[in-house]
Copies of this chain bind each other. A is one copy, B any other.
Amino acid sequence: MAHKNRIGNLFSITSFGESHGPAVGGVIDGMPAGVRIDLEQVKQELARRRPGQGGVSSGRKETDEVEILSGIMDGLTLGTPIGFIIRNHDHRPEDYDHLKDVYRPSHADYTYQAKYGIRDHQGGGRASARETAARVVAGALAKQVLEKMGVTIAAQSTINVAEVPQGDTYGGVVTCVIKGVEPGIGEPVFGKLSSQLAEAMMSIPAAKGFEIGLGFDFVNHFGSEVLDKFVLKDGNISTATNHSGGIQGGISNGNDICFKVAFKPVATLMQPVEGIDNDGNPVTIEPRGRHDQCVVPRAVPVVEAMAAIVVLDNVLINRASRL
């Protein structure tokens, strides 16, 4: 359940912030009361998102120090909203003057301008992946609640291409596994757990595809090949295979929830590219500064964060399913 800059219902995050404005941040609403929070873990999650992960990304220095402004007292959540900010540093507005009236190909420059009639041209403004820092904070807190419920989330990235030409970029796939979700989570019909996960993942910058379980490979199989037969494990109903990815009819069945997200190559190349200006004239944009060649490793903690937000929200919603 997402709307503009908010995602989630009973547990939600409303985020704000442009890449080169004073700060990014957000309000986490609906955090259950009485949860002991480890802020060190939040910092570690933010560190996983920073440039310089795994040698494939580089870029501006982001220290990402989060300041919690409310909702936590003496390390315990109060049940009230958690406001937080992460200051942006290293502003150099003049670095972006050449992009003020230019639309870069495969960026959001033109679409923001078309929508709002105005845009912050500095480092992508609101369209920058910088905003995902706020997601990671909310996800890190959600993860801590889920851990106490026995739910763990782990993602990893896979890269398909090899021998990347100097100055070019590439994408990749993030695979995520959620363990320990009890059967019964997710709202059938429009609020399917798979549907909400798809929404959440596709809201991550550069995400272009989503699969649950076998996903698109389902279409290469007959029904008899991909039925998940029931078995008893430790006296509980489970399935021998998990082609469905842990969800049936939109509701968790107790198995691992497995999904994949495809990310397109970074659109900012370290080579000249052809753009267009406000008046429709072609312009050549020379590369400046340093940019990520691939963001997929940095997307891993973001995928986990979004998964945590969706699952916690649905675990809470499910408390109202029965009398």
Given contacts A5-B81, A33-B322, contact A227 B267 (CB under 8 A): yes
For A162-203 the 0/1 string (1 means CB < 8 A from B) is 001100111111000000001111111111101111111111
CB distance from A243 to the nearest CB of B (A): 8
Q: Would you call A10 and B85 a contact (CB within 8 A)?
A: no
CB distance from A110 to the nearest CB of B (A): 6
Of B10, B207, B208, the contact of A214 (CB 8 Å cutoff): B208
Of B33, B262, B276, the contact of A215 (CB 8 Å cutoff): B262
Given contacts A85-B83, A202-B195, contact A148 B323 (CB under 8 A): yes
- Taking CB atoms and an 8 Å cut-off, the chain A residues in 63-101 that contact chain B are 67-71, 73, 76-83, 85
Of B32, B70, B280, the contact of A237 (CB 8 Å cutoff): B280
A213: interface (CB < 8 Å): yes
| Residues of B with C-beta under 8 A to A116 | 33-34, 78-79, 184, 321-322
Name 27 interchain pairs, CB-CB below 8 A, sorted by A.
Answer: A5-B190, A7-B190, A16-B82, A18-B73, A21-B69, A23-B69, A23-B70, A32-B320, A33-B116, A33-B118, A106-B248, A111-B250, A148-B323, A161-B220, A168-B224, A170-B222, A190-B203, A192-B202, A208-B215, A209-B210, A209-B218, A210-B210, A213-B264, A219-B264, A226-B265, A243-B264, A244-B264
- Taking CB atoms and an 8 Å cut-off, the chain A residues in 25-39 that contact chain B are 25-27, 29-30, 32-35
CB distance from A38 to the nearest CB of B (A): 15
Given contacts A16-B70, A23-B83, contact A262 B29 (CB under 8 A): no
| Residues of B with C-beta under 8 A to A15 | 27, 81, 189-190
A211: interface (CB < 8 Å): yes
CB distance from A290 to the nearest CB of B (A): 15
Q: Top 4 A-B pairs ranked by shortest CB distance?
A: A108-B249, A16-B83, A199-B199, A169-B223
| Residues of B with C-beta under 8 A to A10 | 10, 317, 320
A251: interface (CB < 8 Å): yes
CB distance from A321 to the nearest CB of B (A): 5
Given contacts A111-B186, A221-B265, 18 further A-B contacts (CB under 8 A): A10-B320, A14-B14, A16-B81, A17-B83, A18-B70, A18-B78, A34-B322, A35-B323, A78-B116, A111-B253, A127-B249, A171-B218, A171-B219, A203-B250, A216-B216, A216-B262, A223-B265, A227-B269
For A1-21 the 0/1 string (1 means CB < 8 A from B) is 111111101110011111001
Give Cα A313 to B173, complex, Å: 30
Q: Would you call B214 and A264 a contact (CB within 8 A)?
A: yes
